[in-house]
Amino acid sequence: MQNWQKDRNYRKYENADGSFRFVITVDGEDVEVGEELYKEYAASGRKMEYMELDLKRDRILKDAKGKAVMDGDGLPVVLPEREVSLDKLVDEDWEFPSSAPTPEDGVLHNIEIEALRRCLDLLEADERALIHALFFDGLTIREYAAITGKTKSSVDRLKTKTLGKLKSLLTN
């Protein structure tokens, strides 16, 4: 058995007649399983091994012939990891910006809300009702059309026109 196989909890044994027996060790007990289950288990085990080890271990730069490239001191050139965990960054004392809103963000948000309210007040009553129904009450265009007795296409045109008007009011 090769060294890398010792840590695995699944094995494939060849029987005397040339057939194979597939075994997975669960809680210290060997359980014989079918080939399909064994293959799926082995593939998932390899994927986990790749995620936990291969992505994180040091990699060496190799030339076209597969030989390690050496630096000026005669040491192999180490490539950066393909994945860096948050735990490793925290251990290395990396600084992370806070995701909490700043007081400036709160003020800007309030200014934007107030500007939107002023612009909504400048809309016609039917435009305001449409915006309220679609964006605050969560109605669809079809539902709003049914409630108001208008066609879906006329409500859609009014929505497009109203949003354009609202955008124009907000940017001026």
- pTM (global) more than 0.75: no
Structural domains counted in the chain: 3
Domain that holds residue 21: 3-54
Question: What strands lie across the sheet with 29-33, from one edge to the other?
Answer: 10-14, 20-26, 29-33
Residues 35 and 68 in one domain: no
pLDDT at 155: 96
**Which CATH number does the domain housing residue 152 bear?**
1.10.10.10
Residue 4 has pLDDT above 60, yes or no: no
* Residue 53 pLDDT: 66
Tell me the residue ranges of DSSP E strands in 27-89: 29-33, 59-60, 78-79
Under a CB-based contact definition with an 8 Å cutoff, are residues 59 and 77 in contact?
A: no
| Predicted confidence (pLDDT) per residue in 85-134, tens digit | 778 778 888 787 778 888 898 899 999 999 999 999 999 999 999 999 99
Residue 167 and residue 107 share a domain: yes
122, containing H or E segment: none
Same domain assignment for residues 89 and 48:
no
Q: How many residues does the chain have?
A: 172
Scored b (16 or more CB within 10 A) or e, 33-50 reads beeeebeeebeeeeeeee
Average pLDDT, the chain: 86
34 and 86 belong to one structural domain = no
Asked if residue 150 and residue 115 are part of one domain, the reply reads yes
Structure token digits, residue 110: 């309030």
pLDDT, average across residues 43-65 = 75
